[in-house]
A and B are shown apart, each in its own frame.
Chain A
Amino acid sequence: MASLNNHEEPRVIEITDGVLLPTHGERRIIDSWRLTLSIAILGLLAMIFLVKDPYSQIFRVVIKGAPLTFGVTLGAIFGSVFLGLFTGIGQIAHVRLLQLISGVYVELIRGIPLLVQLIFIYFALGKFFQLDGIPAAIIALSICYGAYQGEIFRAGIEAIPKGQMEAALALGLTRGQAMRYIILPQTLRIVIPAIGNEFIAMLKDSSLVSVIALRDILRRGREHVSRTFLSLETYALVALIYLVFTLVLSKLVAMLEDRMKRHEQ
């Protein structure tokens, strides 16, 4: 959590529960991110092109699940940021009812494991209205991560010095205008690292959708194992594929954060 002091420099909220973003201090040629990525890529390439059998066959099968993994993750990123933003604003709203609604949502969702939510939405709610696997997965991930991001946005908004809102109001802006033009642009900059971490965690947690019969990377791996019994080989490859994706995504988030910082100075 950021500390609140009265100066204008925006602080960064450090909430990490996923892959650590590469830190800015690490500017050497060999840093931990590069080393891990190199090992992962070299490992993958060696398995697919040097050892070949059975890895190239496994790779061709499981990589077909990548579009679904990315699709679900991307959909859930949009959904959860949308939900999180409104939840965060709701929590600090002056209307008590909005505070309660967003507060209950956060408490409720954070107290239930994602896997349980996913199964509940797909199978239990499926009794009342038919939900396809992909929408169900995107909705479940969005609702779950929206609650966590709501907390991040709330903390981000609260970290903006009170004087910013006062200055905006004093100029004649409405509360909504002040939020939109003054508070939220500054909030976004503060929460990018934390939200970026959530994106990475979502990419990883998208593998849970394999339990509702969506053929993502993991699901295709499991199907392949049941056909060939090559469990070690298949799951090793699946793990490496996820690792490469996650590392690349964490770099993208770090670059985004960097761009935001550069713009500021």
Chain B
Amino acid sequence: MNSNKIMVDIQNVRKDFGTVKALRKVSLQIHEGEVVLIIGPSGSGKSTLLRSVNRLETLTSGQIFVDGDPLIGPKADIRKIREETGMVFQSFNLFPHLNALDNICLAPIKVRKLSRTVAQERARKLLKRVGLGDRENAYPGQLSGGQKQRVAIARSLAMEPKVMLFDEPTSALDPEMIKEVLDVMLDLAKEGMTMIVVSHEMGFARAAADRVVFMDEGEIVEMGTSQQIFDNPREERTMKFLKHIL
């Protein structure tokens, strides 16, 4: 499914939190339709890198282009980039005062200016797609963790993004719910969505990831296909880390 078009172009990105260097000159190109999995120990900067792509973290230096549009500088249109970039969080971040349908409809109505009926029709399709066609009236408090995360994915998809960012989407889930979320992500990958996923789910990596990136101490240590990284890591830091999680 990969094309040659670069969808996300991360160039020499640096991020300091005070004296802590969270990202040191990271560069990474993600092609249209590519699924990239970022792994690494906690504090390695993988979430910071992901959150930089839609500027939830502001960079110390460097530049990121999303579908050719710059993220930083006078020409940057951050809202346009955020509209085109879906994000799924570890803690779901569904809006607790809105039901599942309204969670999904809000941004299309307020940002894309769709009419309520069109937005709802789309939202219902998306809910069906993530297997929750019968829960449109449920409030987040009435849903299980796996269901919440599936609604959150549907909410992002409602904006018809060009790129989806997943920030440890299954880390807050009970084991029996991880699969239902991963299945939705696998479908998405099959349909050709460009995806950047911070996660340690090996099964997902082997089934869907075109590339696996290993980060440590704010830099990319090694990247390759899932077989290369998981079965034949070259760097010692990668081997050491894999020993911990396997």
A-to-B contact residues, CB < 8 Å: 6-10, 161, 163-164, 166-174, 177, 181-182, 185-186, 189, 264-265
Contact = CB atoms under 8 A, between A and B. Distances in A.
A168 B56 CA distance: 11
Contacts of A163: 89, 91, 93
A163 to B, nearest CB: 4
A119 B152 CA distance: 55
B85 A182 contact: no
Interface of B: 54, 56, 79-80, 82-83, 85-87, 89, 91-97, 106-107, 110-111, 139-142, 152, 155-156, 159
A7 B89 CA distance: 13
Contacts of B110: 173, 177, 181
A7 B139 CA distance: 15
Interface of A: prevailing SS = helix
Count chain A CB atoms within 10 A of each CB in B80, B91, B141, B155 and give the residue with the most: B91
Contacts of A177: 110-111
Nearest to A265: B141
Given A8-B140, A172-B107, A167 B89 contact: yes
A229 B233 CA distance: 97
| Shortest Cβ-Cβ A-B pairs, 10 listed | A167-B93, A172-B83, A171-B107, A163-B93, A170-B87, A172-B111, A172-B82, A185-B97, A8-B96, A172-B79
Given A166-B56, A181-B106, A265-B142, A171 B93 contact: no
Nearest to B92: A8
A45 B43 CA distance: 70
Contact of A8 (B79, B94, B142): B94
Nearest to A167: B93
Contacts of B97: 185-186, 189, 264
Nearest to A189: B97
Contacts of A6: 91
